[in-house]
Structures are given as C-alpha cells and as structure tokens.
Amino acid sequence: MWRPRRWLGWAVIAFAVFYLFTRPAQAAGAVKGVFGGILNSADQLAVFCVAVLG
C-alpha cells in the first residue's frame, strides 16, 4: 500500500541532504535561523510568565 506520509518524509529528508551538500552555507544559515526563532520564542514565553507571575 502506498503511504503518502512515509513518502513525503523521505522526500523531505532527501531534499535536506541535497540542500546541505549543494549549499552548505545557506543550510547553516537556515538551521541557525530556526534555532534562533526557537530561542526567541522561549525568551518571550519567559518574559510573559514573569509578567504574569510578578
């Protein structure tokens, strides 16, 4: 049986590997941006919690 989720997952992994090998600087920038966004979100959540509790 054809499973679209599994196929899509492998396609995303293949694209990520292709992108990593063909444009390593841009791939590093993308990863850095994602982690920066996560850290910024956590920081804003901490600010919110301090404002609510303080």
Domain boundaries, the chain: 4-53
Asked if 30 contacts 36 with a C-beta cutoff of 8 angstroms, the reply is no
To the question of pTM greater than 0.75 for the whole model, the response is no
pLDDT confidence of residue 2: 65
Cα torsion at 9, 12, 15, 17 (round to 10°)?
-70
Across the chain, the runs of DSSP E, i.e. the strands, are none
Per-residue pLDDT of 1-53, as tens digits, reads 568 888 899 999 999 899 999 999 999 999 999 999 999 999 999 999 999 99
